[in-house]
Chains A and B, each alone.
Chain A
Amino acid sequence: MTMSGKPGDPDVSTHSAFTIDEQKAIEALGQAFAVKTVQPMLSRGGPDGDSLMVSGILKEAASIGLLAEHGEGMSGTETGIWGTIALSAGPAMSLNLLKNIAQVCGGISANFHASGIGNLAAGMFKLNVTGRLAYVMPDFDGLHIMPSLNNPAVAYKTASIKGDYSGSGYLIHGDKGFLLQARETSSYIIALPLKTGDTYSWGVMSIPASDSSVKIEAGKKQMGIRSAEIIYLNIYNKNIIKQDVILLNNIDYILLLSAYYLAGIVAILSGIAKGAVASAIKYAGERYQGTKLIIEHPAVRFLIAESETRISAVEAMLEHVPKQSHDAKSMLKYASGLKWFGSVQCVQAITDSLQVFGGYGYMEDYGMEKRLRDGETLKSLSGSSVVHRHTVMDTMEV
């Protein structure tokens, strides 16, 4: 992608990538955090852990710089998960961290992801906003998203949130369902089509969650990732002054954010699947049926081996994500393919790992059913395979 530095182009910082040692240290920090801070939450309360502990976990993660909140002096803004350093260093570190945390809890990892992408968007567009953010991707009424993304006039017709020029600024209105966000999100970064007379453009802005024009509905009972929130966001005629709206010269950065967002979901899924396989191997090495450990049965060995292979394939695809960043469109094509294909592989690995536990896998106490619920939810979140297969096709040259 070319960075021209013109107004409306995002800020891409000049930080150099991490050294291998730094990478290892950050990943170790993620793992240690997952085991020491997240794990105890799961051993209390219901099948999804003690939800009252989530807030504290996120606070602690923010304080040690893992959870990216936005603002000067906040430790995760630059180097947390989807810290702004990802703009130059690429997504690999964030994807790895999401995966590591998801091995313990997919829901907590989803909080990191949502807040991180919000932070990255704010950094990318140099928005004057602080706190825990969520990025609101453009959303259209249709199975094909590319025609809308390619053309703001088309996008304007069917976008769920849009803006109209009002003299002093833009009047923003619309709603977005099924928005993944971290608990206690303080502002929304919204990418949307804008209309000024007969011309259309893409723009980005932020709106505080506490604004009177913002209505949030949460609390629909969701299958999984229950420690994160999936909400319905309604914005009723919010006037944003011109200076606070970033007009974009092209949609490359919207595509890039969407691609990172989708890749992050798959990274979480692969982490959940990895955790499931690790538990399955451990269990199979302890559980006897008759005089045999069940790990000796080919039926069980194959369940585990196939799961491991599926995860390896997804991990290989994830590692390939940074290599796509030369071109935003192929990046989105790749990420859309990764989302549907990777989700299917990961969920199959999770369900096969659950099968290794027999009846115990179906019971809440063993944590496998939670993994399956989390996996299934992420598989359906932000575009099912139907939408993403279309996106892959729509981004291919005919």
Chain B
Amino acid sequence: MKTDLRYAVSTLKPLGRLLVNTDNISTWEHDTKTLPFSCRRLRRKYRMFAKKYLEPIALEVDGDIEHFDPLPVLRAAGREGLLSEAMFRPVGSGSLSAMLFSGGLTFPIALKGEELMSACGGLGLLILDHELGIAPIMLAGDLFQFFKWLGKIAYANLHGEPCPVAFAITEPSAGSDVEETEGALKARLMTYAEPVEGGYRLNGRKVFISNGAVSKYVTLFAAMKGEGIESWTCFLLDKEMKGFSVGRHERKMGQRASDASELILEDVFVPGSRVIGKLRGGWALNRNVLVYSRVGVAAMSLGIARSALEKTVDFCRTHSLGGKRLIEYQDVQLSIADMMIDVSAARGMVWQAARSTKPYQAATAGAKVFASDTAYRVSNLAMEIMGDYGYVHEYGVEKALRDARLTQIYEGTNQVNRLAVIEWQFDSELAQTVY
């Protein structure tokens, strides 16, 4: 007697069958089918790009970063429109319908984040960091800046001249402090701007800046000389500017295809027209950027978790033990089920946060914590299932784990992001109850 669910469904009356899902498709397809048409198209496009350009070189690049030239990947991403979606067509390549129908500004970025990172954490970051770099202009730039800079950058990217933008807030002694409220007031800042004729003179240092070396522009935050974070201002710097140089390249555990570099400012003159948003409005701008970007990092984490899951499933489908394929063992199935459930839960949270018209801090910070912890947990499970194969580079799950580990640190450590969840809800459901 047949006892499986699909058979059981086929015995229902026609109306009953209509009410039950019998699609024999992957979770990815199931989830894609729930999306509006324009978002479905985008999701498929990102996946195809990732499969074509990133996946084939992911392991090689990770294993030999010294000989990696990021420009061809950036060029391909630019040409395919992945670096100009902040501007809608015809200037850029953004899909207005995807944004409108999904309900949220960040939803297309969430789709892109997951797909690119599922192919490679490092190459994904190389492309996705650009969204973070231009976010201050998107959120606070005036109309002139918006069209001048975003238009110019989108045009260059679309026409085969990669023009990535990096985002620089972190300083040697101010990491978490520039990510959260309490610490900020006492942050030990060392990058300062002094008003001079026609603009500002900047001095100081930023560290750990993703794409710091490969980027053409940097949105960089500096305080006014002698003042604290309340005077923070965002500047759009050109890498060609005199006195602006790249210092040390960090050697990092994972996400290696994107450089993390020190930026050194020695009497860099920045014209007044390059102030993004309000003078002294940098702290507020930064906070708002982080609200948006954390959902991006959450999606990126989700992508890494998925990559660990997919690699494990692939391995268990094709490797046998004791005459049985691994996937047929109940113990393996239990762990893979856990991984699938974790990934789906993270996707639910990320999509929920990204779909809101106006993302809010508790949702995006919460999604970032959950998705990045999920990525780390799922990669660990992947390594456990694969046993000795897990720590061998060519199978890819140890890379997923190394890539995943970063997501618990950048865009604010998960500790700081937990505090961000509390901060945002403090005056609502966490407020003192008055009886």
Q: Which A residues are within 8 Å of any B CB, using their own CB? A: 47, 141-143, 158, 177-178, 220-224, 230, 288-292, 297, 299-300, 303, 347, 351, 354-355, 358-359, 361-365, 369, 372-373, 376-377, 379-387, 389-390
Contacts and interface: CB of A to CB of B under 8 A. Distances in A.
A383 B387 contact: yes
Interface stretch (B37-45, B117-125, B128-136, B250-258): B250-258
B170 interface: yes
B382 to A, nearest CB: 10
Nearest to B63: A221
B413 A141 contact: no
A223 B388 contact: no
A386 B391 contact: no
Interface string B320-354: 01110000010110010000000000000000000
Given A220-B394, A292-B183, A387-B387, 6 more contacts: A230-B391, A290-B185, A359-B175, A362-B253, A380-B391, A382-B388
A383 B183 CA distance: 45
B409 A386 contact: no
A303 B408 CA distance: 14
Max chain B C-beta neighbours (<10 A), residue from A178, A377, A386, A389: A386
A222 B188 contact: no
A156 B254 CA distance: 42
Contact of A351 (B63, B250, B323, B376): B376
17 contacts: A142-B322, A143-B322, A178-B388, A221-B394, A230-B391, A289-B177, A290-B186, A354-B405, A361-B409, A363-B260, A372-B253, A383-B387, A384-B387, A384-B388, A386-B331, A386-B335, A386-B384
B174 interface: yes
B256 to A, nearest CB: 11
B158 to A, nearest CB: 33
Nearest to B414: A355
A311 B254 CA distance: 26
B402 to A, nearest CB: 7
B173 interface: yes
Nearest to A222: B391
A300 B282 CA distance: 28
Contact of B391 (A223, A290, A359, A389): A223
Contacts of A158: 322
Contacts of B402: 223, 369, 373
A355 to B, nearest CB: 7
A364 B251 contact: yes
Given A362-B253, A380-B383, A355 B391 contact: no
A363 B385 contact: no
Interface string B383-403: 111111011111000100110
B4 interface: no
Nearest to B401: A376
B208 interface: yes
A303 to B, nearest CB: 8
B393 A351 contact: no
Given A222-B393, A290-B182, A381 B388 contact: yes
A289 B175 contact: yes
A51 B415 CA distance: 36
A300 B415 contact: yes
Contacts of A224: 391
The 6 tightest CB contacts between A and B, nearest first, are: A290-B186, A142-B322, A221-B393, A178-B388, A369-B253, A299-B415
B317 to A, nearest CB: 17
B183 A290 contact: yes
A355 B383 contact: no
B173 A380 contact: no
A191 B287 CA distance: 62
B168 to A, nearest CB: 13
Contacts of B413: 355, 358
Nearest to A363: B250
A347 B384 CA distance: 12
Contacts of A177: 388
Nearest to B320: A141
Nearest to A303: B415
B406 interface: yes
Contacts of B335: 386
Interface residues of B, number: 55
A220 to B, nearest CB: 5
Contact of A380 (B321, B323, B384): B384
Max chain B C-beta neighbours (<10 A), residue from A47, A300, A380, A385: A380
Contacts of A377: 391
A289 B89 CA distance: 44
Contact of A386 (B252, B385, B406, B419): B385
B250 A381 contact: no
B187 interface: yes
Contacts of B387: 380, 383-384, 386-387
B259 to A, nearest CB: 12
A143 B333 CA distance: 14
B410 interface: yes
B64 to A, nearest CB: 10
B176 interface: yes
Contacts of B260: 363
Contact of A223 (B173, B376, B393): B393
B385 A384 contact: yes
B75 to A, nearest CB: 28
Given A178-B388, A379-B383, A386 B415 contact: no
Given A224-B391, A386-B384, A359 B322 contact: no
Max chain A C-beta neighbours (<10 A), residue from B323, B329, B408, B413: B413
Contact of B252 (A223, A364, A372, A390): A364
Given A290-B186, A359-B208, A351 B405 contact: yes
A142 B321 contact: yes
Given A291-B186, A376-B401, A363 B252 contact: yes
A362 B405 contact: yes
A230 B393 CA distance: 13
A14 B384 CA distance: 41
Nearest to A381: B388
Nearest to A343: B384
Contacts of B253: 362-364, 369, 372-373
Contact of A372 (B184, B186, B390, B405): B405
Contacts of B183: 289-290, 292
B409 A362 contact: yes
Contacts of A361: 409
Contacts of A303: 415
A31 to B, nearest CB: 28
Contacts of A380: 383-384, 386-388, 390-391
A143 B329 contact: yes
A290 B187 contact: yes
Contacts of A299: 415, 418-419
A290 B185 CA distance: 7
A141 B321 CA distance: 6
A147 B385 CA distance: 21
A288 B376 CA distance: 27
B252 A362 contact: yes
B170 A359 contact: yes
Contacts of B174: 289
Contacts of B414: 355
Contacts of B398: 223, 373, 376
